[in-house]
Amino acid sequence: MRIAVFGDVVGRSGRTALIERLPGLRRNLSLDFIVVNAENAAGGFGVTPRICEDLFDAGADVLTTGNHAFDQREDILIFDREPRLLRPANFPASNPGRGSGMFQDKDGRNVLIIHVQGQRGMAPIDDPCAAIDRELEGVKLGREADAIIVDFHGEATSEKYSMGHHLDGRASVIVGTHTHVPTADDQILPGGSAYITDLGMCGDYDSVIGMEKSEPLHRFVSKMPGGRFSPATGPATICGIFVETDSKSGLAVKASAIRTGGRLRGIMPD
């Protein structure tokens, strides 16, 4: 199976670039399944039903989110209505939506997506390791699921690496999201799981992690808020990972970062 996962979509620039490029990426990389983290797609904070539909129409199969999942509060019940839109599984059970789902690709193969949020440097939340283990109960890679993809939304690189090793051999793909900066450690772990500490964002890199520069700079220099954060509007770089899995085991046989457009040096799989 050929899989791509794309990092946090930030604002209009990020979502426009990804929506325009996604059909071509699916075609050129012969992708069977696409996951997109969309938690910053609506003005940098959260996601709306319309944006979800635009991303699905462009080729995304599942959308994940993170700590900004419910920032667009006018319609958070979309998380109940739309099974392809996930919030972290270790959010309180009373929250709208779900943190995992079993989906099928165009050939009927089962793809389990699990989404959790980290604890280090984040708001207090339940144990992500325990949440992941619960979601994996009764689901074995290569048997009940042809592929398992985990989006670990976290701040600390050490926590992301620990989760990678915790899941190595039990998931096809383990990606980190949230920090908006792509890491150069795309690899296949010893147990056969593809891993990257952070996918990076789909957004304008002439910015402060996707936000127009003046307000973050003002706050760092003056220690005082001056206004609202707003997404940068320049050309976006699309960041993600491409993974090819073994048809029997579901483990990764190829893993390569994807970076295209905007300011960052381009990387495309062979």
Q: For 97-117, how does the pLDDT look when each residue is reduced to its tens digit (9 = 90+)? A: 999 999 999 999 999 999 999
For residue 213, with 0-12 CB atoms within 10 Å meaning exposed, 13-18 middle and 19 or more buried, which class applies?
exposed
Tokens of 110: 């089962």
Question: What are the pLDDT digits (tens) for 4-58?
Answer: 999 999 999 999 999 999 999 999 999 999 999 999 999 999 999 999 999 999 9
Question: What are the pLDDT digits (tens) for 177-186?
Answer: 999 999 999 9
Rounded to an integer, what distance in angstroms lies between the CA atom of residue 196 and that of residue 177?
9
- Residue boundaries of the structural domains of the chain: 2-260
Over residues 123-152, mean pLDDT: 97
170 — pLDDT class (breaks 50, 70, 90) = very high
Over residues 215-220, mean pLDDT: 96
> 154 near 39, Cβ under 8 Å?
no
Long-range contacts from 135-140, C-beta under 8 angstroms, 24+ separation: 135/89, 135/99, 135/100, 136/170, 139/102, 139/112
Tokens of 117: 């949020």
Rounded to an integer, what distance in angstroms lies between the CA atom of residue 268 and that of residue 214?
32
Q: How many CA atoms lie within 13 A of 148 on its CB side?
A: 28
Question: What are the pLDDT digits (tens) for 61-86?
Answer: 999 999 999 999 889 999 999 999 99
| Mean pLDDT over the full length of the chain | 97
The answer on pLDDT for 92 being more than 90 is yes
The answer on pLDDT for 270 being more than 90 is no
What pTM was estimated for this model as a whole? 0.97
**Residues with catalytic annotation?**
68
Over residues 243-265, mean pLDDT: 98
Q: Which range, of 128-132, 226-230, 237-241, averages the lowest pLDDT?
A: 226-230
Query: Dihedral through CA 105, CA 241, CA 139, CA 109, nearest 10?
Result: 20
Beta-strand runs (E) in the chain: 2-6, 33-37, 62-64, 100-104, 110-117, 147-153, 173-177, 187-188, 194-196, 238-245, 252-260
> Number of H helices and number of E strands within the chain?
6, 11
CATH 3.20.20.70 fits 2-260, yes or no: no
pLDDT at 74: 86
pLDDT > 90 in the chain, percent: 99
